Structure 1
Amino acid sequence: MAHLLQATPLFAVRGVALDAETTGLDVKRARMIEFAAIHLDGGRLGAANAFHSLIACDVEIPASASAVHGLDRQALAGAPDFATLYPGILAFLSGRVLIGHTIGFDIAMLSREAERIGQRFAPPAALDIRLLAQLAEPGLPSYSLEALGSWLGIAPQQRHRALGDAMAAGLIFSGLAPRLRDRGIRTVGEAIAASRRITDALAGAAPAAWELQAPVEAGDALPKLDSYPYRHRVREVMRADPVILQADTSLAEALTVMARDRLSSVFVAPSSAALAEPGILTERDVLRAIARDRSAALDQPIGPLATRPLISVPADAFLYRAIGRMSAKQVRHLAVTDARGELAGVVTTRDLLQLRSSAAVALGDEIDTAPDVAALGQAFARLPVMARALLAEEVQARIIAAVIAREVGALTRRATLLAEAELAAEGAGPPPCAYAVLVLGSAGRGESLLAMDQDNALVFAEGEEGSANDLWFAELGRRMAAILDEVGVPLCKGGVMASQPDFRGSLASWRRRIAQWLERQNPKDLLSVDIVFDFQAVHGDRAMADALWREAWQAAGGQIDFLKLLAENAGEPQSGLTFFGGLRTDEDGAIDLKLTGLKDIVTTARLLALRHGVLAHSTQARLQGVAALGHGAAEDFRAIDADHALLLDCILRQQLADGLAGRAPSNRVRVASLDKRRAAELKRALSRLSILAELRRDQLSG
Structure 2
Amino acid sequence: MASLLRATPLFAIHGVALDVETTGLDVRRARMIEIAAIHLDRGSLDGANAFHSLIATDAPVPAAASAVHGLDSAALTGAPDFTILFDGIAQFLAGRVVVGHTIGFDIAMLRREAERIGRGFEAPPALDIRLLAQLAEPGLPSYSLEALGSWLGIPPQERHRALGDARAAGLVFLALAPRLRERGIRTVGEAISASRRVTDAMTAAAPPAWELHSPAGADDPLPKLDSYPYRHRVREVMREKPAIVAPQTALAEALRIMARERLSSVFVGRAEAALEGLAILTERDVLRAIARDGAAALAQPAAACATRPLLAVPADAFLYRAIGRMSRHGVRHLAVSGPDNALVGVVTTRDLLQLRASAAVALGDDIDSAPDLPALATAWARLPVVARALLTEDVPARTIAAVIAREVGALTRRAAMLAEAELAAGEAGPAPCPYTVLVLGSAGRGESLLAMDQDNAIVFAEGEPDGPADRWFAALGRRMTRILDEVGVPLCKGGVMASEPDFRGSVATWRRRIGQWLSRSSPKDLLNVDIFFDFLPVYGDLAIAEQLWRGAWLAAREQTIFLKLLAESAGEPAQGLGLLGGIRTEEDGRIDLKRNGLKDIVATARLLALHQGAPGRATQERLAALAASGAGGGEDLAAFADDHALLLSAILQQQVADIAAGQPPSNRVVPGILGKRRQRELKQALGRLAILPELRRNRLGG
1:205 aligned partner: 205
CA distance change for structure 1 residues 544 and 221 in 2, over 3 Å: closer, same or farther?
closer
| Residue 550 of structure 1, CA deviation | 1.1
1:161 aligned partner: 161
CA distance in 2, matches of 1:47, 1:522: 57
2:184 aligned partner: 184
CA distance in 1, matches of 2:309, 2:221: 40
CA distance in 2, matches of 1:7, 1:208: 20
| Residue 528 of structure 1, CA deviation | 2.7
CA distance in 2, matches of 1:516, 1:59: 81
Contact 2:7 2:381 in 1 (8 A): yes
CA distance in 2, matches of 1:641, 1:674: 19
2:2 aligned partner: 2
1:322 aligned partner: 322
Query: Is 1:21 matched with 2:50?
Result: no
Which amino acid is the alignment partner of residue 597 of structure 1?
Answer: G
CA distance in 2, matches of 1:366, 1:445: 23
CA distance in 2, matches of 1:324, 1:696: 43
Matches within 5 A, 1:83-482: 83-199=83-199, 201-202=201-202, 204-214=204-214, 220=220, 222-269=222-269, 277-358=277-358, 361=361, 363-482=363-482
| Residue 206 of structure 1, CA deviation | 3.4
2:562 aligned partner: 562
1:59 aligned partner: 59
CA distance in 2, matches of 1:514, 1:268: 42
SS in 2 for 1:366: helix
RMSD of the TM alignment (CA)? 1.6
CA distance in 2, matches of 1:37, 1:360: 31
CA distance in 1, matches of 2:415, 2:476: 10
CA distance in 2, matches of 1:420, 1:507: 20
Deviations 1:211-255 (A, max 9, x none): 112288886454421000000000000011121111011111111
SS in 1 for 2:479: helix
1:663 aligned partner: 663
| Residue 435 of structure 1, CA deviation | 0.8
| Residue 632 of structure 1, CA deviation | 2.0
Which amino acid is the alignment partner of residue 281 of structure 1?
Answer: L
| Residue 208 of structure 1, CA deviation | 4.9
CA distance change for structure 1 residues 184 and 47 in 2, over 3 Å: closer, same or farther?
same
Query: Is 1:602 matched with 2:609?
Result: no
Aligned length: 700
Contact 1:225 1:361 in 2 (8 A): no
Bigger shift: residues 113-122 or 526-535: 526-535
Contact 1:239 1:345 in 2 (8 A): yes
CA distance in 1, matches of 2:185, 2:217: 23
5+ long unaligned stretches in structure 1: none
Contact 2:623 2:637 in 1 (8 A): yes
SS in 2 for 1:357: coil
CA distance change for structure 1 residues 223 and 473 in 2, over 3 Å: closer, same or farther?
farther
CA distance in 2, matches of 1:41, 1:264: 42
| Residue 201 of structure 1, CA deviation | 2.5
5+ long unaligned stretches in structure 2: none
2:697 aligned partner: 697
Contact 1:398 1:648 in 2 (8 A): yes
2:618 aligned partner: 618
CA distance in 1, matches of 2:525, 2:413: 30
CA distance change for structure 1 residues 164 and 193 in 2, over 3 Å: closer, same or farther?
same
Contact 2:321 2:362 in 1 (8 A): no
CA distance change for structure 1 residues 200 and 224 in 2, over 3 Å: closer, same or farther?
farther
Query: Is 1:546 matched with 2:559?
Result: no
CA distance in 2, matches of 1:47, 1:701: 70
| Residue 548 of structure 1, CA deviation | 0.9
CA distance change for structure 1 residues 285 and 217 in 2, over 3 Å: closer, same or farther?
closer
| Residue 521 of structure 1, CA deviation | 4.2
CA distance in 2, matches of 1:360, 1:84: 38
SS in 2 for 1:263: coil
CA distance change for structure 1 residues 228 and 117 in 2, over 3 Å: closer, same or farther?
same
| Residue 207 of structure 1, CA deviation | 2.5
Deviations 1:263-307 (A, max 9, x none): 111111169x9x983100111110111111111111111112110
| Residue 471 of structure 1, CA deviation | 0.9
CA distance change for structure 1 residues 503 and 221 in 2, over 3 Å: closer, same or farther?
closer
CA distance in 1, matches of 2:477, 2:451: 22
| Residue 671 of structure 1, CA deviation | 2.1
CA distance in 2, matches of 1:516, 1:215: 59
Which amino acid is the alignment partner of residue 188 of structure 2?
Answer: V
| Residue 661 of structure 1, CA deviation | 1.2
Deviations 1:450-502 (A, max 9, x none): 00000000101111112211111110000000000000100001100011111
CA distance in 2, matches of 1:568, 1:215: 55
Deviations 1:352-410 (A, max 9, x none): 11213348725141111111101111100100100010111110001000000000000
SS in 2 for 1:496: coil
2:498 aligned partner: 498
Query: Is 1:529 matched with 2:529?
Result: yes
Bigger shift: residues 564-573 or 224-233: 564-573
CA distance in 2, matches of 1:425, 1:336: 32
CA distance in 2, matches of 1:369, 1:215: 31
CA distance in 2, matches of 1:581, 1:537: 43
Contact 1:362 1:382 in 2 (8 A): no
CA distance change for structure 1 residues 205 and 569 in 2, over 3 Å: closer, same or farther?
farther
Contact 1:455 1:492 in 2 (8 A): yes
CA distance in 2, matches of 1:293, 1:521: 70
Which amino acid is the alignment partner of residue 259 of structure 2?
Answer: A
| Residue 573 of structure 1, CA deviation | 1.1
CA distance in 1, matches of 2:292, 2:146: 67
CA distance in 2, matches of 1:653, 1:633: 30
CA distance in 2, matches of 1:514, 1:21: 66
Which amino acid is the alignment partner of residue 373 of structure 1?
Answer: L
2:628 aligned partner: 628
CA distance change for structure 1 residues 567 and 110 in 2, over 3 Å: closer, same or farther?
same
Bigger shift: residues 279-288 or 200-209: 200-209
Bigger shift: residues 556-565 or 157-166: 556-565
CA distance in 1, matches of 2:644, 2:216: 29
Contact 1:312 1:334 in 2 (8 A): yes
Bigger shift: residues 691-700 or 445-454: 691-700
